[in-house]
Amino acid sequence: MGRVFAAAATILAFAGCSSASESAPEETDETVVARVGDGDSIATESGERVRLVQIDAPELGEDECYGQEAADVLEDLLPPGSTIRLEADPRLDDTDRFDRLLRYVHGDGLNLNVELVRRGAASVWFVDDRGRYADELLDAARDAKEAGRGLWGTCPGTRLDPERGVDTE
């Protein structure tokens, strides 16, 4: 009887592990944009607040150079009502200190995190670890800076520093 009980307990433990991983949030989720917060954050119609991971755009409320333009670029790419797909990166945190989801955002066949950097509306920012699109993001930032696109042409003195985020002074 002891062996049967132990075997049953082991099976239930493994079953519990299996169902726990199945009930964990999916790596990708489809949702609808409610509004753009600034150049690197959105809210969804389901009430989630999302911070586009591994990028940093100038802030709106702090009068940073290119802050409004960055928000406008994101809103042009993701107007309210747009259907998007959110992609988590298991190498990175799931949420930030403001309890926003940290995600790559995909819409119209584009990785919007990379697209914002490519257009010069944001730069790269690797807080602790580098995610699955780190190389692509760095290449896009270097290209945008070299071409003087977006904030790189508008805000003199802006440096590309992936460890510190964007500072347009």
Per-residue pLDDT of the chain (169 residues; tens, 9 = 90+): 444 434 433 333 333 333 333 333 344 689 999 999 999 999 999 999 999 999 999 998 878 899 999 999 999 999 999 999 999 999 999 999 999 999 999 999 999 999 999 999 999 999 889 999 999 999 999 999 999 999 999 998 899 999 998 888 6
**Catalytic positions:** 51, 59, 100
Domains and CATH numbers, the chain: 26-154 (2.40.50.90)
User: Which pLDDT value is given to residue 16?
Assistant: 39
Amino acid identity of 27?
A: E
**Strands annotated E in the chain:** 28-38, 41-44, 49-52, 55-56, 83-87, 101-107, 110-111, 123-124
Residue 38 to residue 25: CA distance in whole angstroms: 25
User: Which pLDDT value is given to residue 162?
Assistant: 92
Residue 90 to residue 25: CA distance in whole angstroms: 11
User: Which pLDDT value is given to residue 59?
Assistant: 92
User: Which pLDDT value is given to residue 110?
Assistant: 96
Those residues with Cβ within 8 angstroms of residue 159's Cβ, 6 or more apart along the chain or in another chain: 167
> DSSP label at 145?
H
Question: What pTM was estimated for this model as a whole?
Answer: 0.82
User: Which pLDDT value is given to residue 169?
Assistant: 67
